[in-house]
């Protein structure tokens, strides 16, 4: 795999750059409630040396009833300043599942106009499996200013997605498991209808991952999108359960050079709750 500090870097790359003064490493581990895992406790126990903990649920829009919606720019800036992450830094994000929530934080940085951010391919499990070091002490951050230029084109709301669903453009691709997409499996969040956004295509994010939770090659990724019925010459909106794994599809698109994408932040947590928007079931 080719390392790209704007999308995806390998554990080898990180090992070589771990002591770079301008590197900022973030542990963005997050799990669905039914996983029974506590990401902050796991971070306190062991993380890659120098990593700071990025709390996806806390660094979010506190005014919203939706889970972990993108925070206002001011909140993001102040949290990053306190964590010592700012202008001139190369950010690398990883998570404890291999690749689950790290891409969400990559997307947040991109949304805030930060380009020098990459996801660690294979995350903490691959790092640990290779016998590389971890530590249990958090780093001592020094304040660093971050300039934020909010990128509106990278995020979509329910109105824009409803319009896309009706007009069949941009294309909508859903990263949830096939059974949830079809409406056969119950949603992990209570009170949501089952099914998918009418006109959406299904590409479960797990189909983009190898057994060791690294992203498949660009060629394999491209083939997976095309097999799901996505025309890669046209714009794409990614969606999922609550805007976490949709970012894995966004990262995959960016990595293959398809830059005309956006993410539906509310995703199914919002759409499945709105009584006024239509829901489709079955395969398409």
Claim: this prediction has a pTM higher than 0.75: yes
pLDDT, tens only, 210-236: 999 999 999 999 999 999 999 999 999
Compute the distance between CA of residue 154 and CA of residue 253 in angstroms, rounded to an integer: 12
Compute the distance between CA of residue 190 and CA of residue 220 in angstroms, rounded to an integer: 35
pLDDT of residue 275: 87
Grouping H, G, I as helix, E, B as strand and the rest as coil, residue 52 is strand
Give the HSE-up count for residue 181: Cα atoms under 13 Å, Cβ half-sphere: 20
Please check whether residue 284 is in contact with residue 33, taking contact to mean a CB–CB distance below 8 angstroms: no
| Residue 261: alpha-carbon gap to chain centroid | 13
Catalytic residue ranges: 240
Which tokens hold the place of 30? Answer: 């997050």
In percent, the amount of the chain with pLDDT more than 90 equals 93
Compute the distance between CA of residue 224 and CA of residue 281 in angstroms, rounded to an integer: 22
Compute the distance between CA of residue 15 and CA of residue 12 in angstroms, rounded to an integer: 5
pLDDT of residue 38: 97
pLDDT over 80 (residue 284): no
pLDDT, tens only, 249-277: 999 999 999 999 999 999 999 999 988 99
């Amino acid at each position: 795999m080719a390392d790209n500090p704007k999308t995806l870097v390998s554990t080898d790359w990180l090992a070589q750059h771990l002591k770079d003064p301008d590197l900022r490493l973030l542990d963005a581990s997050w799990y669905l409630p039914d996983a029974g895992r506590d990401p902050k406790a796991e971070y306190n126990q062991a993380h890659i040396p120098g990593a700071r903990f990025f709390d996806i649920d806390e660094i979010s829009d506190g005014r919203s009833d939706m889970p972990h919606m993108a925070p206002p720019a001011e909140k993001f800036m102040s949290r990053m300043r306190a964590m010592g992450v700012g202008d001139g830094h190369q950010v690398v994000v990883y998570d404890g599942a291999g690749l689950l929530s790290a891409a969400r934080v990559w997307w947040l940085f991109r949304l805030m106009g930060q380009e020098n951010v990459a996801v660690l391919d294979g995350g903490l499990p691959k790092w640990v499996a290779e016998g590389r070091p971890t530590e249990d002490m958090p780093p001592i951050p020094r304040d660093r200013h971050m300039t934020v230029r909010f990128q509106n084109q990278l995020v979509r709301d329910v109105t824009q997605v409803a319009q896309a669903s009706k007009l069949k453009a941009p294309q909508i691709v859903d990263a949830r498991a096939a059974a949830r997409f079809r409406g056969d499996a119950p949603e992990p969040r209570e009170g949501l209808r089952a099914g998918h956004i009418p006109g959406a295509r299904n590409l479960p994010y797990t189909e983009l991952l190898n057994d060791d939770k690294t992203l498949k090659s660009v060629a394999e990724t491209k083939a997976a999108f095309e097999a799901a019925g996505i025309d890669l010459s046209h714009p794409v909106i990614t969606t999922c359960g609550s805007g976490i794994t949709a970012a894995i599809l966004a990262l995959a698109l960016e990595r293959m050079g398809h830059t005309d994408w956006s993410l539906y932040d509310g995703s199914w947590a919002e759409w499945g709750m709105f009584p006024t928007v239509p829901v489709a079931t079955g395969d398409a």
